[in-house]
């Protein structure tokens, strides 16, 4: 391979540098690895995105995913993805994974989110009931080139910025600030001891200081304060009041078809009873993946109802169930979500997961990347009514979750939010990757920042063309789309 021009790396090169630095290497030797990686793959080379000659048809990629999903829900997925280029992007992680596999990489790996667009950074609760800011979606998590997460985040900001009418210069400032935040945070983590990296977090105190400081605009700071207050109300009690009704004196999940369908409305009595028995077994077995104290807490709840739920954009059509559990009485609810876990979209390009259960893959990646995780986060495998065995991961349906609203962001607000996301992503990567080597690769200049601003614009162009292809396919009837009434 030529050393003068960065070239797409073969799959084997993606993992040539171990995720964790060998203990025998000194910090100086680890930094030397990062600087050597610049020679193989110059930072400026990340600016280029050109579709490979054999690029798969993006619609064929989506259809291949849909083939394994609940057929009657697939049209909802397509409908949501046609709404805007940003919504298409949210559902196109598999397409971008294939595209990223043809781009230059440093050869240094970390545990990846795999779908690090801006809406997958949000507010959530720690087990100590503190409000945190962190990554929150790990369906695609897998070890791989750390650059891929940074590129997916950067492109999402450009796509959201275009939707808001930001001009070229405003979008470039947002991306450069985001990547600079990632780079400078990684440099700080490179100088930090192992425990310091592990304990690092962005909590309510830091968020409040950001809201009170010079980051963003007064409009953006007000939105952040409101979002923090609202997030604290989004818990099991709030979900219970919103999603349930009283039937024959007992709480049951209220139907909202096709987005929320209780098992009682989905299957005949005999099949429903068999499914509920399977889910009771799933809950009992899943408890073994929790810490012993949390397993004891789970055992104090009883299963009261089950429903199928449609979630997100890219996940629409995967099997997702919510469980209504009750504790000391009918006003002591716990709502859990069991979400189907399939093979990561990264696996075809980085190699398969070392975990045989895809739910365990998701949970292990989440625990590794998040500063702190849901106390009910676990996994299990269950045989469905159709006889097929599927992997699931389980977590609370709502636990102080707050999500950004990019449509309300002005350029300075999106820049401040991007900086927060960049630092958060660096902290997540620093826990698993060789932070010293990554920091040395990035260096003190803005070369990488500027390269990713160019990459993000080029990829946003590609995303717009792919989105239009989907719109055309729906219009001509090649693909079905139907959004239920709101």
Within a domain: 182:
yes
Residue 192: which pLDDT band, with cuts at 50, 70 and 90? very high
d(CA 475, CA 480): 9
Residue 213: which pLDDT band, with cuts at 50, 70 and 90? low
For position 10, what pLDDT does the model report?
Answer: 38
H runs (alpha helix) in 41-84: 58-66, 74-82
| 220 and 251 both lie in a single domain | no
Segment 23-50, tens digit of pLDDT = 689 999 999 999 999 999 999 999 999 9
Domain end (from 353, 376, 396): 396
| 24 and 123 both lie in a single domain | yes
For position 19, what pLDDT does the model report?
Answer: 63
Q: Between residues 17 and 289, which one has the greater pLDDT?
A: 289
For position 345, what pLDDT does the model report?
Answer: 98
Domain end (from 396, 417, 452): 396
Residue 15: which pLDDT band, with cuts at 50, 70 and 90? very low
d(CA 118, CA 390): 29
| 294 and 427 both lie in a single domain | no
Please state, in angstroms and as integers, the Cα–Cα distance from residue 336 to each residue in 111, 236, 448, following that order. Answer: 26, 9, 41
**How much of the chain, in percent, has pLDDT values that exceed 90?**
75
Of 85, 79, 78, 86, which Cα lies nearest the Cα of 404?
86
d(CA 25, CA 47): 31
Within a domain: 409:
yes
Within a domain: 3:
no
Q: Which two tokens stand for residue 124?
A: 């959530």
* Residue range 279-307: mean pLDDT, rounded: 95
Residue 62: which pLDDT band, with cuts at 50, 70 and 90? very high
Range with the poorest average pLDDT among 21-25, 62-66, 238-242, 439-443: 21-25
Q: Could you identify the residue written with the tokens 């993006």?
A: 58
Domain end (from 344, 363, 396): 396
| 185 and 264 both lie in a single domain | no
Segment 99-147, tens digit of pLDDT = 999 999 999 999 999 999 999 999 998 888 889 999 999 999 999 999 9
For position 20, what pLDDT does the model report?
Answer: 63
Range with the poorest average pLDDT among 1-15, 21-35, 80-94, 330-344: 1-15
Q: Could you identify the residue written with the tokens 């275009």?
A: 162
| 15 and 135 both lie in a single domain | yes
Segment 374-429, tens digit of pLDDT = 999 999 998 876 778 999 999 999 877 788 889 999 999 999 999 999 999 999 99
SS3 98: helix
Q: Could you identify the residue written with the tokens 């829900």?
A: 73
d(CA 39, CA 441): 10
| 101 and 215 both lie in a single domain | yes
For position 6, what pLDDT does the model report?
Answer: 37
Within a domain: 243:
yes
| 321 and 428 both lie in a single domain | no
d(CA 212, CA 485): 40
Q: Which domain holds residue 359?
A: 236-396
* Residue range 445-453: mean pLDDT, rounded: 98
Within a domain: 2:
no
d(CA 174, CA 236): 35
Within a domain: 485:
no
Domain count, the chain: 2
* Residue range 45-67: mean pLDDT, rounded: 95
DSSP 140-208: T-EEEEHHHHHHHHHHHHHHHHHHTT--HHHHHHHHHHHHHHHHHHHHHHHTS-HHHHHH---BHHHHH
| 97 and 181 both lie in a single domain | yes
Q: Which two tokens stand for residue 371?
A: 């500063």
| 327 and 178 both lie in a single domain | no
For residue 292, pLDDT beyond 50: yes
Within a domain: 123:
yes
Range with the poorest average pLDDT among 45-59, 209-223, 367-381, 411-425: 209-223
Mean pLDDT across the chain, nearest whole number?
90
For residue 3, pLDDT beyond 50: no
Predicted TM-score (pTM) of the model is: 0.92
For position 214, what pLDDT does the model report?
Answer: 54
For position 326, what pLDDT does the model report?
Answer: 97
| 297 and 212 both lie in a single domain | no
DSSP 417-485: HHHHHHHHHHHHHHTTS-HHHHHHHH-SSSHHHHHHHHHHHHHHHHHHHHHHHHHHHHHHTSS---PPP
| 193 and 66 both lie in a single domain | yes
Segment 64-106, tens digit of pLDDT = 999 999 999 999 999 999 999 999 999 999 999 999 999 999 9
| 106 and 184 both lie in a single domain | yes
Tell whether the torsion through CA atoms of 31, 415, 466 and 116 is positive or negative: positive
Secondary structure element (H or E) that encloses residue 132, with its range: strand 131-135
What distance separates the 2 farthest-apart alpha carbons in the chain?
A: 74
Please state, in angstroms and as integers, the Cα–Cα distance from residue 390 to each residue in 64, 318, 433, following that order. Answer: 18, 11, 30
Within a domain: 1:
no
Which residues have C-beta within 8 Å of that of residue 277, sequence separation ≥ 6?
A: none
């Amino acid at each position: 391979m030529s050393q003068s021009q960065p070239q797409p790396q073969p799959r084997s090169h993606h993992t040539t540098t171990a995720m964790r630095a060998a203990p025998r290497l000194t910090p100086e030797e680890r930094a030397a690895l990062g600087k050597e990686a610049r020679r193989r793959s110059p930072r400026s080379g990340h600016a280029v995105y050109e579709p490979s000659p054999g690029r798969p048809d993006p619609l064929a990629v989506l259809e291949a995913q849909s083939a394994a999903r609940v057929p009657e829900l697939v049209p909802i997925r397509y409908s949501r993805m046609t709404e805007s280029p940003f919504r298409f992007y949210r559902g196109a992680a598999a397409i971008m994974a294939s595209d990223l596999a043809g781009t230059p990489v440093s050869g240094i790996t970390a545990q990846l989110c795999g779908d690090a667009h801006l809406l997958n950074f949000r507010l959530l609760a720690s087990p100590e009931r503190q409000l945190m800011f962190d990554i929150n979606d790990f369906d695609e998590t897998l070890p791989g080139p750390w650059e891929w997460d940074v590129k997916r985040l950067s492109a999402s900001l450009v796509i959201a910025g275009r939707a808001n009418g930001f001009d070229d210069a405003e979008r470039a400032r947002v991306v450069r600030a985001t990547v600079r935040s990632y780079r400078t945070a990684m440099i700080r983590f490179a100088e930090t001891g192992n425990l310091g990296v592990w304990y690092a977090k962005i909590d309510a105190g830091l968020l409040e200081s950001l809201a009170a400081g010079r980051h963003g605009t007064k409009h953006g700071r007000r939105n952040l304060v409101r979002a923090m207050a609202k997030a604290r109300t989004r818990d099991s009690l709030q979900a219970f009041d919103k999603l349930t009704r009283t039937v024959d004196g007992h709480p049951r999940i209220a139907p909202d078809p096709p987005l929320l369908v209780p098992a009682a409305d989905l299957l005949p009595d005999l099949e429903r009873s068999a499914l509920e028995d399977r889910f009771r077994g799933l809950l009992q077995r899943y408890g073994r993946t929790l810490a012993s104290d949390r397993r004891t807490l789970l055992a104090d709840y009883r299963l009261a109802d089950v429903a199928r739920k449609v979630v997100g954009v890219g996940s629409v059509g995967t099997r997702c169930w919510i469980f209504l559990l009750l504790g000391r009485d009918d006003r002591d609810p716990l709502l859990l979500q069991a979400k189907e876990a399939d093979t990561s979209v990264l696996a075809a390009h980085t190699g398969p997961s070392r975990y045989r259960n895809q739910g365990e893959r998701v949970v292990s990646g989440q625990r590794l990347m998040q500063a702190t995780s849901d106390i009910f986060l676990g996994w299990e495998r269950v045989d469905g009514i159709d006889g097929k065995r599927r992997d699931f991961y389980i977590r609370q349906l709502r636990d102080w979750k707050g999500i950004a609203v990019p449509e309300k962001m002005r350029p300075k607000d999106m820049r401040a939010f991007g900086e927060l996301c960049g630092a958060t992503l660096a902290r997540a990567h620093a826990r698993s990757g060789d932070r010293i080597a990554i920091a040395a690769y990035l260096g003190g200049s803005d070369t990488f920042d500027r390269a990713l601003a160019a990459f993000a614009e080029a990829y946003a162009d590609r995303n717009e063309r792919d989105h239009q292809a989907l719109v055309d396919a729906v219009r001509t009837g090649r693909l079905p789309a139907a959004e239920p009434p709101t």
